[in-house]
Amino acid sequence: MLRGKDRALPVSETLAGLKCGEISALDAAREALTRAKRCRIDINAFSVLDKKGALAAAAESERRYKDGTPRPLEGVPVAVKDMIDTAGCETRYGSQAFVGNVPIRDSAIVRSLREAGAVITGKTTTHEFAWGVTTASEAFGDTLNPHDKSRIPGGSSGGMAAAIAYGAVSAGLGTDTGGSVRIPAALCGTVGFKPTYNRLPSQGIFPLAKSLDHPGILGAAMEDVIALSAVFGLEAQRPPEKLRIAALPHLPPVPADTATAAAFKAFCQQLEPLARITPLQDTEMFEGLFDAFADTVLVEAGTEHSALHDPEFIRETYQPETASRIELAQAKSVSDLTSARKRTWQFQSDLARLFEEFDFLILPTCPCTAPLRGQAELTIGGWSGSERQVLMAYTAPFNLAGTPALSLPVQHLTGSELPVGVQLVAASGNDEMLLGLARRLEGILQPAA
């Protein structure tokens, strides 16, 4: 990872330096491109660098500062996940099937960032078509966790979280269908924010499962996430003084590992002066949700890709993992999707009732720290399951619900060698309050004595 002055500055410090003239937008862009290049070599977190586009945008930012017309993010370098269209910059969606694909227009969220003055330095890596949690790729090479290169960064926004943790950028855009922003944020030690479903537009983002896809924001710290969120009209609000919080130390049947359980306990202890924390007794409301999630993704993603390419092209061009999932999707029936929808609707109703009694729900983001690369199966305590199920067990339910959720790094509370994330969840539409709570908590959390 980059250290000290070589790391990207926080968004607020970059803006302050640009406004007072201590930093030039062109220098900021050049330095960001240099960091991104090093990041690409060291941990393979960038798929494409956009030197021409970044320098052109930075030159425009220079003119605006001289004219006295800067926009909210004028000259701030950011990055964008490779699932999100960027005009004039190659966008592969993590697949060799789209090598050389250069969109002619920006996605809606990228357009908003550009209109706010942000400078896009490049595209960060993703699992093929965002359909996985490791950001591993036979075609392009695996993305590595900057804290330990023998471990995965999570996925599918693994490149973005890894690039931020590495120090290449301080913030950027990701996507989240079953935890794809929050999982890598937790495993890499960054902040990852999934807003309420449809609060951020999905136009110009390659779909995985349209009913579950959420654009999201990642940052080194809360203020970085808040700065980007404000571009989309999501302004952090101060939460109530005495909070009512429901807590889930783990989500059956998947237990939390030792480091995660210790960090979550320490987190709850530091919350006690601010909130009435109530252990959530009704965990039955979460039963069967992973199966409902998996069936929904299989049917929706399988339909999308089958309409896009013929079976022979998929077998020959897609990675075997993705191609096999599309084959599995053929075996799913309308009744499977109907059952998944019914289970989803019941969970949405149960969760809405929960938020009538509580302001927020807290639980670990993932039940474990970053697994080693190549681990298909994971064991925690006496429970074993696929890497995919383990890492998404605590995040996927809130894609089904469409509620806002945020992963906050807390490994510093226990001195864990690897990052640990705690997940904060709010009722649908309460994004601003969730951002305000996370900012408040980040400011008060202290390492254990």
**Catalytic residue numbers?**
81, 156, 180
> Is the bond preceding 253 in cis, omega lying within 30 degrees of 0?
yes
Query: For residue 71, what are its two tokens?
Result: 């926009």
The rounded distance, in Å, linking the Cα atoms of 123 and 173 is: 10
The rounded distance, in Å, linking the Cα atoms of 138 and 128 is: 10
DSSP for 177-202, please give it: SSSTTHHHHHHHT-EEEEPSTTSS--
Q: Any idea what DSSP says for residue 151?
A: B
**Contact yes or no for 79/124 (Cβ under 8 A):** yes
**Contact yes or no for 136/150 (Cβ under 8 A):** no
CA angle 390, 394, 395 (to 5 degrees): 105
Q: In the chain, count of helices (H) and strands (E)?
A: 15, 13
Measure CA 415 to chain center. Answer: 23
The rounded distance, in Å, linking the Cα atoms of 201 and 45 is: 25
> Is the bond preceding 156 in cis, omega lying within 30 degrees of 0?
yes
3-state secondary structure of 176: strand
**Residue partners of 383: CB distance under 8 A and separation at least 6:** 253, 254, 255
E strands in 10-129? 46-49, 77-81, 119-124
What are the φ and ψ backbone dihedral angles of 307, each rounded to 5 degrees?
Answer: -75, -25
Sheet holding 214-219, edge to edge: 46-49, 119-124, 77-81, 171-176, 214-219, 191-194, 405-409, 421-425, 360-364, 243-247, 275-279
Residue 67's alpha-carbon distances to 19, 63, 308, 406, in angstroms, are 12, 6, 47, 38
Q: Are strands 360-364 and 243-247 parallel, antiparallel or unpaired?
A: parallel
